[in-house]
Amino acid sequence: MTPYAIVAPFLRILTRFPGGWGTRYSETMTVDPTQHESRDVYKLLIGSVVPRPIGFISSVSADGVRNLAPFSFFNAVCQNPPTVIFSAGLKGASSADKRKDTLRNVQETGEFVVNIVGSDIAAAMNTTSGDYAPEIDEFEVAGLTPIASETVRPARVKECRVQMECRATQFVTVSDKPGGACIVVGEVVRIHVDDGIVDGYKIDPAKLDAIGRMGGNTYARTTDRFDLERPVVK
């Protein structure tokens, strides 16, 4: 009998309690999210869904203040029309306005820019994630260069090798409970790609050098890649 088999019955009793260690059958940890602290479930989510791409979102407030922040609950979800989403967590009940600056700006103006983060600006990207007051311009805080967009008011990040100008098409509030979030859906109306990283329409991933987010404060590079041919089913 293994040591685990001896303690397993006691573990099962422990895990009946909220905040317990998760039900363990055999060698699997099985968690009912409703029975655990939301922050612990969050750790399982962000530790499992990896690496997550980072949407470095530039927006502007209704009265013209620039804003820049990273969001790793981010992805491209449709090609026609080209569509991206990101999810902004809602602040605690103590805040008069639960929205992060990015979400408030995009809801007020309907516009944002997604910038793709290379490893060369990882530290600057991280700097912009501080909880700065709405009147603070994170471009300045992080020493990044704003350049004008063609079709929307928010600036692009010059140091990013891909920038996408977007118009918000939908806002989906997943939940306004603590830990809840609002998903922003946006149509990409312009794509800017550094000439030096693209051949035709094919982006060289080595030159893009995008980073992704793992759990905690860990990031991944995109330097270890491999190819697989798609099966042709006749």
Contact footprint for ligand FMN (CB under 6 A): 54, 67, 69-73, 87-89, 100-102, 126, 129, 131, 213
Q: Answer whether 156's CB lies under 8 Å from 15's CB.
A: no
CB nearer to ligand FMN: give 88 or 113: 88
CB nearer to ligand FMN: give 22 or 179: 179
Dihedral angle at the C-alpha atoms of 172, 177, 181, 182, nearest 10 degrees?
30
As beta bridge partners, residue 71 has: 55
Give the CA radius of gyration of the chain.
Answer: 21
- Compute the least distance from the CB of residue 77 to ligand FMN, in Å: 15
- Compute the least distance from the CB of residue 54 to ligand FMN, in Å: 5
CB nearer to ligand FMN: give 83 or 126: 126
CB nearer to ligand FMN: give 101 or 209: 101
Name the E strands within 38-180: 52-53, 55-60, 66-71, 74-79, 82-89, 111-116, 146-147, 156-157, 162-175
